[in-house]
Amino acid sequence: MSYTQKVMEDLTKRYSHQPVFLQAVQEVFMSLQPALDKNPAYEEHKILERIVEPERIIGFRVEWVDDKGEIQINRGYRVQYNSALGPYKGGLRFHPSVNIGILKFLGFEQIFKNSLTDLPIGGAKGGSDFDPKGKSELEVMRFCQAFMNELYRHVGATIDVPAGDIGVGGREVAYLFGQYKKLTTSYEGVLTGKHVLFGGSLARTEATGYGAVYFAQDMMAGRGDTLEGKTCVVSGAGNVAIYCCQKLQQIGANPVTVSDSRGMIHDPEGIRVDILKQVKEVERASLTRYAELVPTARYTPVSDYPAGRNAVWNVPCDAAFPCATQNELNIEDAKILLANGCKCISEGANMPSTLEAVNAFLASGICYGPAKAANAGGVATSQLEMAQNASMQDWDFATVDGKLRRIMHSIYFNASETAKEFGQPNNLVLGANIAGFRKVADAMIAQGVC
Ligand code: NDP
Ligand code: 2IT
């Protein structure tokens, strides 16, 4: 039995109740064996057994009072996964589905993603099962304050720097920042994704979506092709999806779909980003509202989809950008995309494709940009925010966007060169996993057993 199989077997027994975590580990492990064979030091130092266990998991009660005066209780977490390369760094997710297994999957991915950026950041993730949907502004503020009342003792600008993820955007980061400042009297870059008025970086809001498009451009260029004039499908309608659509339009491609948890929009004329921003960022409404405002848009509710499927993948396209959530693209979807001639997948969301779908994309030989490479632009720009805060500077939009462009290019180059080194050119899953892993593993060995 190989080293990866042995560790995976033990892990599966121990964490059978955390399926998405096991899936994330499996996705990394399926690439690593050649690198482990090449360097026996990784097994001697038990790097796999160590890297799958978080350095620390913090769990806490979050209690707050709703607008009716009723006491509400939620669960809050921070998984501080790996600090070999720098202070813990990764987002916070507020969604009713949040549990330790989901945060371990996200934190595990974050270790390798952050390593790929070549910036000094370790991996972490956190969040709560709080559902921001349907909550008033004051309820969201009270919840964020209650969450920070506990989290503040575990974070800091050189310790652990949270940011946004699903359900956590600029509004939530601002309330969390205000409460941290109140509790510690310290005005520091303890969170990223802040408003530019108090230490935020220009281009952080756009960075994940823009980065996923930059990565797709590099993949297509590697095949002598371009995204210009191409029809693109995008899932999700939040931070990542909005700025993915915006960048696609800026480079002359045509995004024709977006989706949320209740339905999807298809408009062959192209998504109206100004209206999408108004509906999602300002009104925080459902996509039915978008369909009211844009006469050419067709809305399909989730109830009309085949069970468990996201209908955006049925729309014929040249390139697809999953930007909503994990496991939103399964093997049936992958087959339809491939049959329709899709040439490029760039993952804005974390682990949006099931393992079977990933294998179908790899077998087909099309451009496939796995999440930990393709969506690393968000966290990379968060680190640029940390750098600006630490040096008390602020850089203009073009400077930050230029750095983001170069970082995405370097991630693509590193993943594709590593794939070539291991005899599988074009396999960016293998390239990204090995390139991300090696840096963390080498740093762990150098730092000793601690
Ligand atoms: P948002 O909360 O801004 O948007 C999420 C979008 O996805 C919403 O349209 C939401 O619909 C939809 N969605 C979420 N969960 C589900 C679900 N279970 N089924 C169907 N639709 C769903 O989050 P982000 O845009 O920030 O994050 C999207 C993805 O990108 C996540 O996987 C996140 O981990 C990843 N990511 C985010 C980064 C960032 O910088 N923000 C960086 C790297 C990755 P609805 O509003 O109806 O719930
Ligand atoms: O998944 C991710 O990379 C994020 N949600 C962004 C993390 C960050 O620290 O900016």
Q: Which residue has the tokens 């993820």?
A: 165
Residue 417 included in any domain: no
pLDDT, residue 207, reads 99
Q: For the chain, how many structural domains are there in total?
A: 2
Strand residue runs (E) in 95-203: 123-128, 160-163
Residues 223 and 365 placed together within one structural domain of the fold: yes
Q: Among residues 331, 347, 369, which one ends one of the domains?
A: 369
Residue 18 included in any domain: yes
Distance (Å) from CA 447 to ligand 1 centroid:
36
CATH number of the domain where residue 107 is located: 3.40.50.10860
pLDDT, residue 305, reads 87
CB 229 within 8 A of CB 261: no
- Measured CA to CA, the distance from residue 147 to residue 153 in angstroms comes to 11
Tokens of 159: 């310790």
CATH number of the domain where residue 363 is located: 3.40.50.720
Residue 124 included in any domain: yes
**Residues within a 6 A CB radius of ligand 1:** 164-167, 169, 208, 236-241, 260-262, 323-325, 348-350, 375, 378
Residues 228 and 113 placed together within one structural domain of the fold: no
The H-or-E segment that residue 140 falls in is helix 137-151
State the closest ligand 1 atom to the C-alpha of 351, by its place in the atom list counted from 1: 32
> Any catalytic annotation for residue 46?
no
Residues 157 and 248 placed together within one structural domain of the fold: no
Instruction: Give residue 319's domain range.
Output: 207-369
Backbone angles phi, psi at 131, to 5 degrees: -110, 110
Which residues are bridge partners to 161 per DSSP?
Answer: 89
Residues 8 and 156 placed together within one structural domain of the fold: yes
CB 20 within 8 A of CB 352: no
Ligand 1 pocket: which of 135, 204, 239, 289 to mutate (most atoms <8 Å of CB)?
239
Residues 229 and 300 placed together within one structural domain of the fold: yes
HEC string of 355-380?
A: HHHHHHHHHHCCEEECHHHHCCHHHH
Residue 447 included in any domain: no
Ligand 1 pocket: which of 325, 346, 375, 382 to mutate (most atoms <8 Å of CB)?
325
Q: Among residues 336, 369, 402, which one ends one of the domains?
A: 369
Cβ-based burial of 138 (10 A; exposed 0-12, middle 13-18, buried ≥19): exposed
Residues 179 and 287 placed together within one structural domain of the fold: no
Residues 216 and 101 placed together within one structural domain of the fold: no
Residue 419 included in any domain: no
Residues 109 and 80 placed together within one structural domain of the fold: yes
Residues 290 and 141 placed together within one structural domain of the fold: no
Which residues are bridge partners to 367 per DSSP?
Answer: 344
Q: Among residues 186, 221, 240, which one ends one of the domains?
A: 186
Tokens of 248: 């696609």
Residue 356 included in any domain: yes
Residues 171 and 217 placed together within one structural domain of the fold: no
At CA 99, angle to CA 15 and CA 153, rounded to 5?
A: 110
Residue 307 included in any domain: yes
pLDDT, residue 93, reads 99
Residue 422 included in any domain: no
The H-or-E segment that residue 106 falls in is helix 100-116
pLDDT, residue 398, reads 98
Per-residue pLDDT of the chain (450 residues; tens, 9 = 90+): 999 999 999 999 999 999 999 999 999 999 999 999 999 999 999 999 999 999 999 999 999 999 999 999 999 999 999 999 999 999 999 999 999 999 999 999 999 999 999 999 999 999 999 999 999 999 999 999 999 999 999 999 999 999 999 999 999 999 999 999 999 999 999 999 999 999 999 999 999 999 999 999 999 999 999 999 999 999 999 999 999 999 999 999 999 999 999 999 999 999 999 999 999 999 999 999 999 999 999 999 999 988 878 899 999 999 999 999 999 999 999 999 999 999 999 999 999 999 999 999 999 999 999 999 999 999 999 999 999 999 999 999 999 999 999 999 999 999 999 999 999 999 999 999 999 999 999 999 999 998
The H-or-E segment that residue 313 falls in is none
pTM of the complete model: 0.98
Residues 290 and 354 placed together within one structural domain of the fold: yes
Residues 174 and 294 placed together within one structural domain of the fold: no
